[in-house]
Amino acid sequence: MRRQLLLLLSACAILFSAHSLAQEKSFGPYQVYYSVLNSSFISPETASAYNIVRGQDRALINIAIRKRLKNGEDIAQAAKLSGSRSDLIHSLPLEFKEIREQGAIYYIADFKFNDKELLAFTIKIQPDPDIAPYTLKFSHTLYEDE
């Protein structure tokens, strides 16, 4: 089941990167890739294995960090993540789970949303404990599955 989730997230990352659907932002030598998707894209078995709640009003944020090396290559980078999502009234924390396998590191957080809701995300990303965290801010409109 773990492999299913990783394959799904890997496929999503590759698909999103290939079609410019994933967002990305550079912070120094780090490239941060992030996307938001409805939880219905994940099988019930995989969701259960990772305590991810599926539903038409549930979504996931997926974040991966890559570090650019001096030789031009990049590698998966672990980081400390914290963050929140906000609507017009509330700001609620996101609880990230780290998933590692075969050189890939992903951070996911699941959450509930309202149909056609614009959410603002603020994520603190600290890939190096000796420097202050970087702040990633973006907005995304979510739609319930039909």
Residue 136 in any domain: the answer is no
Look up the domain containing 65 and give its range: 2-78+93-116
Tokens 């990167």 sit at which residue?
A: 17
- What is the distance, to the nearest Å, from the Cα of residue 43 to the centroid of all Cα atoms in its chain? 17
Distance CA 96, CA 45 (A): 20
Residue 111 in any domain: the answer is yes
pLDDT in tens, the chain (146 residues): 455 545 455 444 433 433 345 799 999 999 999 999 899 888 888 888 888 889 999 999 999 999 999 998 999 999 999 999 999 899 999 999 999 888 899 999 999 999 999 999 999 999 999 999 999 999 999 998 75
Q: Cβ(52)–Cβ(95) under 8 Å?
A: no
Total domains in the chain come to: 1
Q: Cβ(28)–Cβ(76) under 8 Å?
A: no
CATH number, domain of 105, equals 2.60.40.3340
- In the β-sheet with 91-94, what is the strand arrangement from edge to edge? 91-94, 80-86, 117-126, 134-142
Residue 86 in any domain: the answer is no
Tokens 């496929």 sit at which residue?
A: 11
pTM over cut 0.85: no
pLDDT in tens, 91-119: 999 999 999 888 899 999 999 999 999 99
